[in-house]
């Protein structure tokens, strides 16, 4: 007995209960509020938009002028020529290139919005995971307290000669087994807390405690309504912007057949005679005989076809996800409610009946401990079922864009 008590004490020191530490209680909405624009994950997502936005400035810039200086000397006579050449983007390609780059920025912003929604969904899943781990650890802690109380009663009865030593030893063994399970549950809870904290901009002080709300289950809309909402998601909007960008790129390629002139102006001076200085004005035009933008037009058409195929593939994938997650949410709700009604609500009665039967000598210590174990497992299973319901609801909200009231 001394060895068992010593081991249980060591486990209690290594894995202290949640109530013994400083706790920070957070609801799901409060946890979401900590996923602010200062969060490293959200800043990393938004930074991709700034990178693409630089392409707009690159497409809008004017070409730099060219300065040319020539000196020619023959038979003691030198001529100096200074010219400045400025290309003139008058074909309209620059305007379409800017529009295409702007459309790509809109697409990147839409994708960033979708990634932020995914971050929020992952945070909510981490919150549900923490709550389930928390519930398991707390239930095992309650089981340990009940079994310790039982072991204390049996020890006093054994000392008075009213019960056998086997009952006490078996109860103490059960305490040690549940303590080991509680230590593993504490490890799972710490892991879930770390996963949740990784979404925050700063690590909070103390131990985080998940405080779930208990709203009544909202009825789920039909698949058709969910799909209508899903097609307004940022992922579909990003593909529409990509299609616009491909269209503008194609129009820009079509303008490559329009020559863009280069205006040249300068001066020419000579050491012959009085060293007079004259002016130079010329216009250079590239004739589009060989490069008529066919590769660029083909690339734009191929990109447009690719985006249309991606949109159709996304629509089919989202429809499958909406259908499956809606069915999963309904099925998990039914199972969780049925389990709560048939099993969890009767757990206390099972323990009470087993206790009375043991006191009356109708059952042995093994049956009593089994009743405790089964009741505790039922409460832990109920928490896992409720967490699985929340997981299905969160995933359904993400894939459909529908928010549960």
Give strand ranges (E) for 15-65: 23-26
CA distance 67 to 264: 9
Other CB atoms closer than 10 Å to residue 392's CB: what's the count? 20
User: In the prediction, which pLDDT does 251 show?
Assistant: 93
Q: β-strand 207-210 against 23-26: which pairing, if any?
A: parallel
Predicted confidence at residue 14, as pLDDT, reads: 38
Superfamily of structural domain 2-214+223-400: Outer membrane efflux proteins (OEP) (1.20.1600.10)
- What string of pLDDT tens digits covers the 405 residues of the chain? 333 333 443 344 334 444 445 788 888 888 888 887 777 888 888 888 888 888 898 999 999 999 999 998 887 788 899 999 999 998 889 999 999 999 999 999 999 999 988 999 999 999 999 999 999 999 899 888 888 888 887 788 777 776 677 877 887 888 888 889 899 999 999 999 989 988 887 777 778 888 877 666 788 999 999 999 888 888 899 999 999 999 999 999 999 889 889 999 999 988 877 777 889 999 999 888 888 889 989 999 999 999 999 999 999 999 999 999 999 999 999 999 999 888 888 888 887 888 788 777 777 778 888 888 888 888 889 999 999 999 999 999 999 988 776
What pLDDT is recorded for position 16? 45
**Is the distance from CB of 252 to CB of 72 less than 8 angstroms?**
no
Lookup: tokens for 379: 């409460």
Name the token pair of 376: 């505790």
The C-alpha atoms of residue 283 and residue 248 are separated, in whole angstroms, by: 29
pLDDT at position 17 = 43
Buried b (16+ CB within 10 A) or exposed e, 181-204: bbbebbebbeebbebbbebbeeee
pLDDT of 21 reads: 53
Residues contacting residue 126 through CB under 8 Å, at least 6 positions apart:
192, 195, 196, 199
- Please, are residues 325 and 396 in contact by the beta-carbon 8 Å criterion? yes
What is residue 15's predicted lDDT score, i.e. its pLDDT? Answer: 40
pLDDT at 163: 67
């Amino acid at each position: 007995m001394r060895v068992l008590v010593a081991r249980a004490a060591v486990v209690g020191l290594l894995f202290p209960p949640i109530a013994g530490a400083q706790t920070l209680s957070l609801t799901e909405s409060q946890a979401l509020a900590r996923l602010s624009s200062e969060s490293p994950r959200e800043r990393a997502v938004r930074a991709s938009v700034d990178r693409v936005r630089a392409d707009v400035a690159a497409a809008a810039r004017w070409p730099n002028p060219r300065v040319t200086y020539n000196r020619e000397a023959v038979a003691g006579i030198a001529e100096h020529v200074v010219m400045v050449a400025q290309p003139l983007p008058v074909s309209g390609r620059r305007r379409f290139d800017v529009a295409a780059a702007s459309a790509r920025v809109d697409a990147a912003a839409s994708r960033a919005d979708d990634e932020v929604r995914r971050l929020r969904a992952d945070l909510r899943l981490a919150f549900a995971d923490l709550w389930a781990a928390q519930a398991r650890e707390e239930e095992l802690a309650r089981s340990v307290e009940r079994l310790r109380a039982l072991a204390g009663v049996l020890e006093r009865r054994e000392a008075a000669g009213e019960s056998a030593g086997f009952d006490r030893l078996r109860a103490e063994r059960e305490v040690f087994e549940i303590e080991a399970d509680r230590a593993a549950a504490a490890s799972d809870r710490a892991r879930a807390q770390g996963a949740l904290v990784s979404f925050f901009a700063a690590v909070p002080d103390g131990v985080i405690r998940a405080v779930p709300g208990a709203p009544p289950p909202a009825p789920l809309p039909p698949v058709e309504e969910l799909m209508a909402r899903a097609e307004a998601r940022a992922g579909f909007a990003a593909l529409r912007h990509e299609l616009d960008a491909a269209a503008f790129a194609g129009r820009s390629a079509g303008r490559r057949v329009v020559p863009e002139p280069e205006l040249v102006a300068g001066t020419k001076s000579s050491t012959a005679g009085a060293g007079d200085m004259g002016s130079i004005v010329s216009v250079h035009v590239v004739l589009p005989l060989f490069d008529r933008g066919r590769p660029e037009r083909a690339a734009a058409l191929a990109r447009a076809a690719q985006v249309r195929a991606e949109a159709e593939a996304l629509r089919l994938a989202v429809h499958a996800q909406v259908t499956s997650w809606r069915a999963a949410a309904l099925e998990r709700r039914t199972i969780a409610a049925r389990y709560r009604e048939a099993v969890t609500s009767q757990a206390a009665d099972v323990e009470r009946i087993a206790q009375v039967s043991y006191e009356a000598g109708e059952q042995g210590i093994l049956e009593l401990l089994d009743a405790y174990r089964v009741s505790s497992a039922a409460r832990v299973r109920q928490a896992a079922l409720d967490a699985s319901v929340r997981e299905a609801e969160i995933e359904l909200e993400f894939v459909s864009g529908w928010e549960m009231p």
